[in-house]
Structure 1
Amino acid sequence: MRSQAVDHIALLPLYAAAGTAVLALLADLFAGRRPVTVAVTLLGALATAVCAFAVVPANPTFCATGGCSWVPTSSAAVAAALFAVLTAGVLAFSMPALRLGAAPAGEYCFLLACSMTGGVTVSYAGDLLTLIVGLETLTLPLYVLAGLRRFAPTERPSTRPAEAAVTFFLISVVSTAIALLGIALNYAATGTVHLALLGPAPVPFAALAGVGAALLVIGLAFKVAAVPLHAWAPSTYDGAPIPIAAYLSTASKLGGVLALAAIVARLDTGAVLSALAVLTMTVGNLVALRQSRMVRLLAWSSVAQAGYILAALAMGATGVPAALAYAAFFVVLELVAFGVVVALRPATLPASAGQSGGTSADFDGGTFGDYRGAARRHPWLGAAFVLAFAGLAGLPPGLAGLFAKVSVVEALVAEGWIWLAAVVVVNAVIALAYYVRVAALLYTVPAQPGIAVTDPALVYDATHPRLPVSRPVAAALLAATVVAAILGFAPQLLFDALT
């Protein structure tokens, strides 16, 4: 039996993330000022990222009987840092709404930091139980955060945020139960929960282990919004505050990909994952073609992108590097896209709340018509949006997305999955229709002055002043865009770090 000694150096990223959550509450309790609470949370997220890279040489800890529950690796450090960066970015996107009192800053920062703690746990998890605990810690705070728009100051009360939170909660509970059943069956067949010890079960229990692996994959597929557990994503994204929708589409999905990658690298789940991949990318792209609301388009687009990731994971251990690289590229580009939506849909209190008019803090992502000509008023925001869409579509200058798709297709062809590679290519071509359509709309001037839109303030009009962009939002969006641009020109850097 191996030593049960705890290596606290290896646990530094977890301590930093959990400490950030505690410090956010203490700052809110003793200082009572929003800027202090937000600053503490941002610094905590930065400290988490630094600690993740600082402990890369650390030894595994919580080890027993040949397996360890906490395994520091270079890829785990990159994933943990990504969770920290995504948390910081989403918090920056949330500052205009927090300034208007859409949510208590202390509770909001605490919940985000708790979710980040779950993401860090998933990154370093060395057994199935730690993996599930990390995923639930990542997800549970988002149930509350998804419904916060219900309590925002608004002239038009809406039940959509509550419906989004309840839908998210119910489907998540079912999927977690399925995953736990899969873990139980697999443990009964193999006698282990450590990832390092997972493998083919003895012949008498092979069928039981196969059922357990399939149930585990299906349960975890919820986290990446894979078909048929995808129905929660569009309604939840559209009902949640836009920054939280960004977090759901990036950090939550990254956690699901990491969990699936840990399973498929050791268990034979190719048949289940290939079927899920085909359904997910096809349904996501076809339904995205019918969308007219921006956040719903991004939601269905993220469903389709999950299909490409699942296609790589269907190959097992050989497809994990391509899947992780694709997931990392995807979350950065998705963060840029949602950041532009936040910047173009500024929240201000309604006139009835004592302000000098303006739009509602309950604002959602709006319809496509609300973005018509927006890039002419905000050129750099339009350029960032086009970069994100080009990357997601796999077109220049978003070469990171092209590199990711090519990596997946090359890996599939090399392993003999030519039919699945063909499905990926066909779906990538289908996706061009809605990405190009929205990108072109950003630079389109209405042909007739009387064109109907939901929010005329966002339509290009040379006589109308440009809408202001919050400085924290602009800073976070600029940083994310720069990272996306660097990855676009040197995608191999991230690929090497993850593999």
Structure 2
Amino acid sequence: MTQAVNHAALLPLYAAAGTALLVLIADLAFARFQVLAGVLGAAATAVCAVAAPDRAATFCTGDLCSWVVTPRAALLSVLFAALTAGVLALSVPTLREGYAPVGEFAFLLTCSMTGGVVVAYAGDLITLIVGLETLTLPLYILVGLHRRRANPAAAPAAVTFFLISVVSTAVASLGAALLYAATGALHLSELTGGAGRFAHLATVGAALIVIGFAFKVAAVPLHAWAPVTYDGAPVPVATYLSTASKLGGVIALAAVVQRLDTGLVVAVLAVLTMTVGNLVALRQTRMVRLLAWSSVAQAGYIIAPLAVGAAGVEAAFAYAVFFVLLEFLAFGAVAALRGPGTDGGTLNDFHGAGRRDKWLGAVLVLAFAGLAGLPPGLAGLFAKVTVVESLITAGWGWLAGVVALNAVIALAYYVRATALLYARVTPVGIGVVDPELLHRATHPRVPVPAVVTAALVIGAVAAVALGFAPQPIFDILAR
């Protein structure tokens, strides 16, 4: 029997969708304040996510619900809202320069946030896929939205992102259709890998869903779009792709793998993703591409505990929460160091950047250390320990060993990039200094607007705080 709609449970969705409408009204009526409206709306979304009643649900038929409110969903919605507000703040210098229409940019980003909220609360496969597409669709446009001094790489990046995304969505939808044909179940709580004489059909459907959702986290073999898209997009948009978009993919994967027998498929994806990501990252000479391949490797660490099923979901979410925070800091610091309207530049463009701008250099070092799992980025260290512990406890020691080995490999490029931030200009011959490096090392630092400073300071404080006190995150994820 269908139950009445619980509007209190839908508060986060109302707030997120209302944010997009608020931005649209601000753009049409005032032609300004769009970013401020987006930030305020994102804050309202976070407040509504916390205020929504615990363990509530709606759109239910009997005990099966399509919208389920849990503390974990509330935490993830708060994270989507915080990332949206942070990316809007990072985008202010670029938008002031007229590189993209402010109203369109803020509207598309808040629409994407709405999709993230839907994914967090989804209770069935249809809602989950629709939420993922709502999260992803606006990003196709945002990647290529530059209108002034257009980046020649933006259009190919947007097209690449779109085409591969279409393929992955088709694969995931086919998997969902096969799974429904085999089991007759759409609600996540009803999913099962066993379906009598249709068990093989259900297994194929489950594998296709996992492969399709793996695109969202840039897992190998559906990873090739990430470096091209990140490098071609404006750095703030790349920040959102690497954090919020990836978080949506993790939620979707976790929702299905904890209920289906997909351990072998997920394990293979995890090993390939972390290994390929780290090995290719070693050869990168552009900063955003380095971060892109690093995020591919990080996706491997995130999905590794999902190979054990429900027992590894908490570890995967914990790693994802800490990762997106550190990734936001890394991309944000790169955007601030490079200035508005520029791409991420080469590694040599950051030669001595930590000496020119000490606090931005410190933020970038904190992010690199956390992603590498080293102090002072204790949040990243706890995340890796949690993943390894969950794998060993579940009897997947070999996969824990692969994670540890890849973490050691990753140290090479994180340490190289960190050292470059504080490197001095050295002679290339007797009394001869490379003029290009000298220019980069002595170039005046780029002014950082107050709103960007505030976003990075809040992110850095949160990263340090979670590094010293991560238990509240684990407690919420365990509920």
TM-score by length of 2: 0.97
How far the C-alpha of 1:56 sits from its partner, in A, is 3.8
Q: Which aligned pairs between 1:91-240 and structure 2 lie closer than 5 A?
A: 91-149=88-146, 151-152=147-148, 154=149, 157-240=150-233
Equivalent position to 1:296, from 289, 302, 305? 289
Residue pairs, 1:379-418, within 5 angstroms: 379-418=358-397
Distance in 1, Cα, partners of 2:314 & 2:99: 40
Residue pair 2:250, 2:317 contacting (<8 A) in 1 also? yes
Partner of 1:473: 452
SS of the residue corresponding to residue 315 of structure 1 reads helix
Q: Summarize deviations over 1:297-320 as a string: whole Å, max 9, x none.
A: 000000000001111111100000
Is 1:440 matched up with 2:432? no
Aligned match of 1:451: 434
CA-to-aligned-CA distance 1:150-183 (integer Å, 9 cap, x gap) = x22x2xx543100000000000000000000000
1:268 and 2:249 correspond: no
Structure 1 Cα separation of the partners of residues 162 and 204 of structure 2: 25
1:209 partner amino acid: A
Counterpart code for 1:54: A
- How far, CA to CA, are the matches of 1:303 and 1:386 in structure 2? 20
Q: Distance in 2 between matches of 1:404 and 1:346?
A: 31
User: Per-residue deviation at 1:20?
Assistant: 0.6
TM-score by length of 1: 0.93
**Aligned letter for 1:450?**
V
Does the Cα contact within 8 Å between 1:370 and 1:453 map onto a contact in 2?
no
Determine the C-alpha separation between the residues in 2 that align with 1:466 and 1:236: 27
Secondary structure of 1:5 counterpart = coil
Aligned sequence identity (%): 67
Q: How many Å separate the matches in 2 of 1:346 and 1:176?
A: 35
Change (3 A) 1:4 1:485: same
Distance, in Å, in 2 between the alignment partners of 1:103 and 1:185 is 42
Cα deviation, residue 467, structure 1? 2.6
CA distance in 2: counterparts of 1:19 and 1:66, whole angstroms: 29
Q: Could you tell me how far 1:202 is from its partner in structure 2?
A: 2.6
CA distance in 2, matches of 1:373, 1:497: 41
The one of 85, 98, 109 equivalent to 1:88 is: 85
Displacement after TM superposition at 1:58 (Å): 5.5
Q: Against the structure 1 CA distance between its residues 419 and 300, is the aligned structure 2 distance closer, same or farther, given a 3 Å change threshold?
A: same
- TM-fit CA distance, 1:65: 4.4
The aligned amino acid for 2:207 is A
CA offset digits 1:416-439 (Å, max 9, x no partner): 111111110100000000001101
Runs of 4+, deviation exceeding 4 Å: none
1:391 Cα offset (Å): 0.4
Alignment partner of 1:66 is 2:59: no
Q: Hey, what's the Cα distance between the residues in 1 that align with 2:467 and 2:72?
A: 20
* Paired positions, count: 474
Give 1:203 shift: 1.9
Question: Do the aligned residues in 2 keep the contact of 1:9 with 1:58 (CA within 8 Å)?
Answer: no
Shift of 1:286: 0.1
Would the alpha carbon gap of residues 113 and 158 (structure 1) be closer, same or farther in structure 2, given more than 3 Å must change? closer
For 1:9 and 1:254, locate their aligned partners in 2 and report how far apart those are by CA, in whole Å: 25
Q: Residue 315 in 1 paired to residue 311 in 2?
A: no
- 1:171 and 1:76, CA in 2 relative to 1: closer, same or farther beyond 3 A? same
Partner Cα distance (1:120, 1:251) in 2: 10
